[in-house]
């Protein structure tokens, strides 16, 4: 009887040990399965992250090497970043129009700020058009037909040539237009850099169109002509209508009442392919239509050229002021 009890006790202990071992094995197997599933999930997440990274939406925006072009490029870049999930690479200060045109044709950049007159005459090699609407429509159609590039709506300013006089001259002769200047210019000194006197669309052209005959014409370095005009060493010179220093109001920009100067309305040139790929860019480009007038562009250029502000900060502050950024 005692032996039977002993055998029963031994069997019971063995059963307990066997059950415990099986439980531990099951637990270990379960843990292994959980770890395996976790590793698979981590692997899938890495694969998905890599896939998403490879599918990132990107565009490249270029610009000319001048404050105005960089500021406009920044404005477009900031609006794209604010209103879409497209990342922007900035390739600013690439070079003049021919370099930018080659870059966009090679898909090295996707968009850049340009001027209708520049595209029409420099790229398309056409004669000047003095009707803003016709010029825009013609250059837009030609770019689409020949290059598969398109133009955004115009930004709102025309950066063309102008003649400026200092304030004392403007007040003394009541000068508001180039025609009025022509009537009194035989008493005044005109100053400009040497190239301007030789260019077909420079001084000879203005002189002929307005019948000018200045008392004296001086060859003066382009970098000091503005200050020379302010100091009355010369009374008249040339400028661009969005030059930053014009916002100081120390000189007067005269109306081209005969409309002889070519039109240079600003807009963005963009690849048709990128618009088809990211149609949401259409709405972003619409935000730039009529966004900046000549006086505002003068001010933005002044902040860069004279006050030395960072281009991105200038663009940000302007867009905040317009309610397009917070």
Per-residue pLDDT at 25: 47
Per-residue pLDDT at 36: 46
Cα separation, 21 vs 261, in Å, equals 96
Cα separation, 127 vs 272, in Å, equals 26
Per-residue pLDDT at 127: 87
Delimit the CATH 3.40.190.10 region(s) of the chain: 58-158+264-321
- Exposure b/e, 182-201, CB count within 10 A at least 16 = b: beebeebbbbbbeebeeeee
**Do residues 136 and 265 lie in contact, with contact meaning Cβ atoms separated by under 8 Å?**
yes
CATH code, 58-158+264-321: 3.40.190.10
Delimit the CATH 3.40.190.120 region(s) of the chain: 161-253
The CATH number of 161-253, from 1.10.10.10, 3.40.50.200, 3.40.190.120, 3.40.190.10, is: 3.40.190.120
Per-residue pLDDT at 130: 86
The ranges of the chain with pLDDT < 70 are 1-55
Per-residue pLDDT at 3: 52
pTM, full prediction: 0.77
Residues whose CB falls within 8 Å of the CB of residue 121, separated by 6 or more in sequence, listed in order:
127, 128, 262
Per-residue pLDDT at 7: 52
**Numbers of helices and strands, H then E, in the chain:** 14, 10
Q: DSSP readout, 180-216?
A: HHHHHGGGSEEEE-HHHHHSTTSHHHHHHHHT---SE
The SS3 of residue 110 is coil
């Amino acid at each position: 009887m005692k032996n039977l009890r002993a055998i029963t006790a031994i069997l019971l202990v063995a059963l307990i040990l066997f059950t415990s071992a099986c439980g531990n094995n099951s637990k270990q197997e379960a843990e292994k399965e959980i770890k395996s599933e976790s590793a698979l999930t981590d692997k899938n997440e890495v694969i998905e992250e890599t896939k998403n990274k490879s599918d990132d939406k990107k565009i490249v925006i270029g610009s000319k090497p001048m404050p105005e072009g960089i500021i406009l490029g920044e404005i477009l870049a900031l609006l794209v970043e604010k209103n879409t999930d497209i990342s922007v690479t900035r390739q600013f200060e690439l070079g003049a129009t021919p370099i930018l045109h080659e870059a966009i044709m090679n898909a090295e950049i996707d968009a850049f700020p340009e001027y209708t007159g520049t595209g029409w005459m420099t790229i398309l090699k056409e004669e000047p058009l003095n009707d803003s609407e016709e010029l825009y429509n013609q250059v837009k159609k030609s770019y689409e037909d020949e290059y598969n590039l398109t133009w955004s709506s115009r930004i709102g300013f025309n950066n063309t040539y102008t003649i400026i006089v200092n304030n004392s001259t403007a007040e003394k002769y009541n000068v508001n237009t180039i025609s009025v200047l022509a009537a009194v210019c035989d008493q005044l000194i005109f100053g400009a850099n040497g190239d301007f006197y030789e260019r077909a669309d420079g001084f000879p052209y203005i002189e002929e169109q307005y019948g000018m005959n200045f008392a004296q014409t001086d060859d003066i370095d382009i970098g000091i002509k503005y200050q020379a005009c302010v100091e009355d060493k010369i009374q008249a010179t040339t400028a661009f209508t969005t030059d930053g220093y014009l916002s100081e109001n120390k000189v007067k920009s005269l109306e081209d009442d005969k409309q002889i100067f070519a039109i240079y309305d600003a807009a963005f040139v963009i690849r048709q392919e990128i618009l088809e790929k990211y149609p949401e860019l259409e709405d972003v480009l619409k935000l730039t239509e009529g966004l900046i007038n000549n006086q505002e562009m003068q001010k933005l250029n002044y902040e860069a050229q004279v006050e030395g502000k960072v281009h991105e900060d200038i663009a940000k502050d302007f867009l905040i002021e317009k309610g397009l950024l917070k």
